[in-house]
Amino acid sequence: MSGWVAIAGLGPGNEALVTEEVRAALAEATDIVGYIPYVARVAPREGLRLHASDNRVELDRANLALDMAAAGQRVVVVSSGDPGVFAMAAAVFEALETRPDPDAFDIRILPGITAMLAAAARLGAPLGHDFCAMNLSDNLKPWDLIEKRLRLAAEAGFAMAFYNPRSKSRPHGFARVLEILRETAGPETLISFARAVTTPDERLTTVTLAEATPEMADMRTMVIVGNADTRRVGRWVYTPRQVR
């Protein structure tokens, strides 16, 4: 098999944060596969075929990429942020499980800067100690599981980073998230909203959980919740490495 698949992270939005490794793969590719807005970030050029699709067909995208690689094409599957964080790398490996000879495929995972880490850097160092990341969408897992993990993480004292906090089709779930956090982490815990981070539309807001409202978050917002030690210093938010 002469083709290959590279699963690449395009970073949080600013083109300066796309790695040179990813740029090199894009320059070599014959085909780009991904969710519509992520494929749109790849500059068209002669000989490059773009395969954009809806966000709910991840396995279809993964199988298309594997089929094209098997036919000798050089395929880059694009995700925003890092492809291994709530993105396409897992979908490609899930599709690979159905192939008779998985080791026949040349697959590379090209890391990128996640929205979580980009948002944390713009805010200061809110993830400076133990933390966890959660996807708050219940499209791929039940809401009961989200509530269980959320409550346990808050009780354990983790700082938390939330992807996909609130959408038009899921307007009420984030209100429940805030209720659980106030109960378990306490109303004075800091919560930060980093919207459209690293883009011209970037907006950063930090308040206490008591002050937070569901409308502060949307699908372009990365939400970071501190723990009992997280505090402000000037305009920055950080979680110290020494635990009290």
| Alpha-carbon separation of residue 25 from 10, 32, 40, 69, 177 (angstroms) | 11, 10, 16, 14, 39
Up-side HSE of residue 202: CA atoms within 13 Å toward CB?
Answer: 15
How do the pLDDT tens digits run along the chain, 244 residues long? 689 999 999 999 999 999 999 999 999 999 999 999 999 999 999 999 999 998 889 999 999 999 999 999 999 999 999 999 999 999 999 999 999 999 999 999 999 999 999 999 999 999 999 999 999 998 889 999 999 999 999 999 999 999 999 887 787 889 999 999 999 999 999 999 999 999 999 999 999 999 999 999 998 999 999 999 999 999 999 999 987 7
> What's the token pair of residue 233?
């210093």
Q: Domains, the chain, ranges and CATH?
A: 4-113 (3.40.1010.10), 116-238 (3.30.950.10)
Asked if residue 96 lies in contact with residue 66, where contact means CB atoms within 8 angstroms, the answer is yes
- Distance in angstroms (rounded) separating the CA atoms of residues 124 and 22: 27
| Alpha-carbon separation of residue 164 from 98, 137, 175, 220 (angstroms) | 29, 6, 13, 8
b/e burial code for range 142-180 (CB count within 10 A of at least 16 → b): eeeebbeebeebbeeebbbbbbbbbeeebeebbeebbee
Asked if residue 24 lies in contact with residue 17, where contact means CB atoms within 8 angstroms, the answer is no
- Distance in angstroms (rounded) separating the CA atoms of residues 192 and 131: 14
CA-wise closest residue to 29 among 54, 1, 53, 49? 49
